Amino acid sequence: MKFFIDTANLDQIREAQDLGVLDGVTTNPSLMAKEGITGHDNIMKHYVDICNIVDGDVSAEVIATDYDGMVREGEALADLHEQIVVKLPMIKDGIKACKYFSDKGVKTNVTLVFSAGQALLAAKAGATYVSPFIGRLDDISTDGLNLVSEIRHIYDNYGFETQILAASVRHTMHIIDCAKLGADVMTGPLSAIEGLLKHPLTDIGLAKFLEDFKKGN
Protein backbone atom coordinates (compact mmCIF):
# COMPACT_ATOMS: atom_id res chain seq x y z
CA MET A 1 0.00 0.00 0.00
CA LYS A 2 1.32 3.43 -0.94
CA PHE A 3 1.51 6.11 1.76
CA PHE A 4 0.54 9.66 0.80
CA ILE A 5 0.59 12.52 3.28
CA ASP A 6 -2.52 14.70 3.35
CA THR A 7 -1.19 18.19 3.98
CA ALA A 8 0.20 21.31 2.35
CA ASN A 9 2.65 21.86 5.21
CA LEU A 10 6.16 21.70 3.76
CA ASP A 11 7.85 20.81 7.08
CA GLN A 12 5.55 17.85 7.61
CA ILE A 13 6.03 16.73 4.01
CA ARG A 14 9.83 16.92 4.48
CA GLU A 15 9.57 14.94 7.72
CA ALA A 16 7.52 12.17 6.09
CA GLN A 17 9.87 12.14 3.11
CA ASP A 18 12.89 11.83 5.45
CA LEU A 19 11.28 8.78 7.07
CA GLY A 20 11.70 7.10 3.68
CA VAL A 21 8.18 5.72 3.40
CA LEU A 22 6.41 8.50 1.52
CA ASP A 23 4.94 7.80 -1.92
CA GLY A 24 3.13 11.06 -2.57
CA VAL A 25 1.07 14.00 -1.31
CA THR A 26 -2.58 15.01 -1.46
CA THR A 27 -3.73 18.58 -0.95
CA ASN A 28 -7.07 20.32 -1.15
CA PRO A 29 -8.16 23.98 -1.03
CA SER A 30 -8.80 23.76 2.74
CA LEU A 31 -5.31 22.39 3.42
CA MET A 32 -3.73 25.14 1.28
CA ALA A 33 -5.73 27.82 3.12
CA LYS A 34 -4.69 26.30 6.47
CA GLU A 35 -1.05 26.98 5.54
CA GLY A 36 -1.93 30.54 4.52
CA ILE A 37 -1.24 29.86 0.84
CA THR A 38 -3.53 32.18 -1.10
CA GLY A 39 -3.57 33.79 -4.55
CA HIS A 40 -3.04 32.00 -7.86
CA ASP A 41 0.72 32.48 -8.17
CA ASN A 42 1.50 31.48 -4.58
CA ILE A 43 -0.66 28.39 -4.87
CA MET A 44 1.02 27.31 -8.12
CA LYS A 45 4.47 27.91 -6.62
CA HIS A 46 3.53 25.90 -3.54
CA TYR A 47 2.62 22.87 -5.68
CA VAL A 48 6.04 23.05 -7.34
CA ASP A 49 7.71 23.32 -3.91
CA ILE A 50 5.88 20.18 -2.80
CA CYS A 51 6.89 18.32 -5.99
CA ASN A 52 10.51 19.26 -5.33
CA ILE A 53 10.40 17.62 -1.88
CA VAL A 54 8.75 14.29 -2.75
CA ASP A 55 9.41 11.71 -5.44
CA GLY A 56 5.81 10.60 -6.06
CA ASP A 57 2.43 11.91 -7.18
CA VAL A 58 1.13 15.23 -5.87
CA SER A 59 -2.63 15.84 -6.12
CA ALA A 60 -3.58 19.44 -6.93
CA GLU A 61 -7.28 20.26 -6.88
CA VAL A 62 -9.16 22.40 -9.39
CA ILE A 63 -11.44 25.13 -8.06
CA ALA A 64 -13.74 25.41 -11.09
CA THR A 65 -16.92 23.36 -11.05
CA ASP A 66 -17.74 23.57 -14.77
CA TYR A 67 -16.17 21.35 -17.46
CA ASP A 68 -14.34 24.11 -19.38
CA GLY A 69 -13.01 25.66 -16.21
CA MET A 70 -11.82 22.31 -14.85
CA VAL A 71 -10.08 21.48 -18.13
CA ARG A 72 -8.40 24.88 -18.23
CA GLU A 73 -7.25 24.73 -14.61
CA GLY A 74 -6.27 21.07 -14.81
CA GLU A 75 -4.10 21.69 -17.86
CA ALA A 76 -2.31 24.55 -16.10
CA LEU A 77 -1.76 22.36 -13.04
CA ALA A 78 -0.50 19.41 -15.09
CA ASP A 79 1.93 21.72 -16.92
CA LEU A 80 3.49 22.77 -13.60
CA HIS A 81 5.34 19.52 -12.94
CA GLU A 82 5.32 15.90 -14.15
CA GLN A 83 4.36 14.72 -10.64
CA ILE A 84 1.10 16.67 -10.56
CA VAL A 85 -2.14 14.67 -10.51
CA VAL A 86 -5.24 16.70 -11.41
CA LYS A 87 -7.75 16.38 -8.58
CA LEU A 88 -11.37 16.70 -9.71
CA PRO A 89 -14.58 16.76 -7.70
CA MET A 90 -17.05 13.88 -8.03
CA ILE A 91 -19.68 15.82 -9.95
CA LYS A 92 -21.00 15.42 -13.50
CA ASP A 93 -18.54 17.86 -15.09
CA GLY A 94 -15.76 16.41 -12.94
CA ILE A 95 -16.37 12.98 -14.46
CA LYS A 96 -16.38 14.49 -17.96
CA ALA A 97 -13.12 16.29 -17.20
CA CYS A 98 -11.68 13.06 -15.78
CA LYS A 99 -12.43 11.30 -19.09
CA TYR A 100 -10.83 14.20 -20.99
CA PHE A 101 -7.63 14.02 -18.94
CA SER A 102 -7.40 10.22 -18.89
CA ASP A 103 -7.73 10.17 -22.72
CA LYS A 104 -4.80 12.60 -22.80
CA GLY A 105 -2.71 10.48 -20.44
CA VAL A 106 -2.86 13.03 -17.60
CA LYS A 107 -3.18 11.47 -14.14
CA THR A 108 -6.37 12.23 -12.20
CA ASN A 109 -7.73 11.85 -8.69
CA VAL A 110 -11.52 11.92 -8.35
CA THR A 111 -12.21 13.34 -4.91
CA LEU A 112 -15.16 13.65 -2.52
CA VAL A 113 -16.31 10.10 -3.19
CA PHE A 114 -18.86 8.79 -0.72
CA SER A 115 -20.53 5.87 -2.51
CA ALA A 116 -19.66 2.77 -4.52
CA GLY A 117 -21.66 4.10 -7.47
CA GLN A 118 -19.55 7.25 -7.58
CA ALA A 119 -16.39 5.12 -7.48
CA LEU A 120 -17.70 2.99 -10.35
CA LEU A 121 -18.27 6.11 -12.46
CA ALA A 122 -14.78 7.41 -11.68
CA ALA A 123 -13.24 4.12 -12.80
CA LYS A 124 -15.33 4.13 -15.99
CA ALA A 125 -13.99 7.64 -16.71
CA GLY A 126 -10.45 6.29 -16.39
CA ALA A 127 -9.46 7.94 -13.11
CA THR A 128 -5.95 7.12 -11.91
CA TYR A 129 -7.09 7.40 -8.30
CA VAL A 130 -10.48 7.42 -6.61
CA SER A 131 -10.69 9.00 -3.15
CA PRO A 132 -13.33 7.60 -0.79
CA PHE A 133 -13.42 9.86 2.30
CA ILE A 134 -13.58 7.33 5.11
CA GLY A 135 -13.21 9.71 8.08
CA ARG A 136 -16.02 11.97 6.91
CA LEU A 137 -18.32 8.96 6.55
CA ASP A 138 -17.38 7.81 10.06
CA ASP A 139 -18.21 11.35 11.22
CA ILE A 140 -21.83 10.83 10.18
CA SER A 141 -22.12 7.33 11.70
CA THR A 142 -21.59 5.53 8.39
CA ASP A 143 -18.86 2.90 8.06
CA GLY A 144 -16.20 4.50 5.88
CA LEU A 145 -14.12 1.33 5.72
CA ASN A 146 -17.10 -0.57 4.34
CA LEU A 147 -17.01 1.76 1.34
CA VAL A 148 -13.36 0.87 0.71
CA SER A 149 -14.32 -2.80 0.85
CA GLU A 150 -17.23 -2.32 -1.60
CA ILE A 151 -15.05 -0.44 -4.08
CA ARG A 152 -12.30 -3.09 -3.84
CA HIS A 153 -14.88 -5.78 -4.61
CA ILE A 154 -16.31 -3.93 -7.61
CA TYR A 155 -12.93 -2.99 -9.08
CA ASP A 156 -11.65 -6.55 -8.70
CA ASN A 157 -14.78 -7.95 -10.40
CA TYR A 158 -13.92 -6.06 -13.57
CA GLY A 159 -10.18 -5.50 -13.34
CA PHE A 160 -10.47 -1.70 -13.16
CA GLU A 161 -7.00 -0.21 -12.87
CA THR A 162 -8.15 2.88 -10.94
CA GLN A 163 -6.31 2.89 -7.63
CA ILE A 164 -8.33 3.14 -4.43
CA LEU A 165 -6.87 6.08 -2.50
CA ALA A 166 -8.39 5.87 0.98
CA ALA A 167 -8.72 9.52 2.01
CA SER A 168 -9.84 11.38 5.10
CA VAL A 169 -7.79 8.92 7.12
CA ARG A 170 -7.67 10.17 10.68
CA HIS A 171 -5.65 7.67 12.75
CA THR A 172 -3.42 4.60 12.68
CA MET A 173 -6.24 2.04 12.84
CA HIS A 174 -7.70 3.52 9.66
CA ILE A 175 -4.34 2.85 7.96
CA ILE A 176 -4.15 -0.74 9.22
CA ASP A 177 -7.76 -1.47 8.27
CA CYS A 178 -7.26 0.04 4.80
CA ALA A 179 -4.24 -2.21 4.32
CA LYS A 180 -6.30 -5.26 5.38
CA LEU A 181 -9.03 -4.34 2.89
CA GLY A 182 -6.60 -3.91 0.01
CA ALA A 183 -6.71 -0.15 -0.54
CA ASP A 184 -3.95 0.72 -3.02
CA VAL A 185 -3.06 3.98 -1.29
CA MET A 186 -3.92 5.78 1.90
CA THR A 187 -3.57 9.48 2.53
CA GLY A 188 -3.46 10.75 6.07
CA PRO A 189 -1.80 13.17 8.47
CA LEU A 190 1.79 12.77 9.67
CA SER A 191 0.49 11.90 13.16
CA ALA A 192 -1.31 8.81 11.80
CA ILE A 193 1.78 7.66 9.88
CA GLU A 194 4.08 8.18 12.87
CA GLY A 195 1.51 6.49 15.10
CA LEU A 196 2.36 3.24 13.35
CA LEU A 197 5.81 3.37 14.94
CA LYS A 198 4.56 3.20 18.48
CA HIS A 199 4.37 0.20 20.79
CA PRO A 200 5.13 0.29 24.54
CA LEU A 201 6.77 -3.15 24.40
CA THR A 202 9.23 -1.81 21.81
CA ASP A 203 10.19 1.03 24.18
CA ILE A 204 10.40 -1.27 27.21
CA GLY A 205 12.40 -3.88 25.27
CA LEU A 206 14.84 -1.32 23.91
CA ALA A 207 15.38 0.23 27.34
CA LYS A 208 16.15 -3.24 28.77
CA PHE A 209 18.57 -4.11 25.95
CA LEU A 210 20.47 -0.86 26.52
CA GLU A 211 20.50 -1.35 30.29
CA ASP A 212 21.87 -4.91 29.94
CA PHE A 213 24.46 -3.73 27.43
CA LYS A 214 25.70 -1.11 29.92
CA LYS A 215 26.03 -3.75 32.68
CA GLY A 216 28.38 -5.83 30.56
CA ASN A 217 30.47 -2.89 29.23
Q: Is 136 in the site for ligand E4P (CB under 6 A)?
A: yes
Neighbours of 121 (CB within 10 A): 19
Long-range interactions of 89-95: CB distance < 8 A, separation 24+: 89/61, 89/62, 89/65, 90/114, 90/118, 90/121, 90/122, 91/65, 93/65, 93/66, 93/67, 94/65, 94/70, 95/121, 95/122, 95/125
Catalytic residue among 87, 96, 107, 198: 87
Residue 24 vs 126, nearer CB to ligand E4P: 24
DSSP class of residue 189? -
Minimum CB separation of residue 131 from ligand E4P in Å reads 5
Q: Is 167 in the site for ligand E4P (CB under 6 A)?
A: yes
Residue 179 vs 206, nearer CB to ligand E4P: 179
| Contacts (CB under 6 A) with ligand E4P, residues 94-133 | 111, 131, 133
Q: Is 26 in the site for ligand E4P (CB under 6 A)?
A: yes
| Chain residues in the site for ligand E4P (CB under 6 A) | 6, 26, 28, 111, 131, 133, 135-136, 167-168, 187
Q: Kindly list the catalytic residues.
A: 87
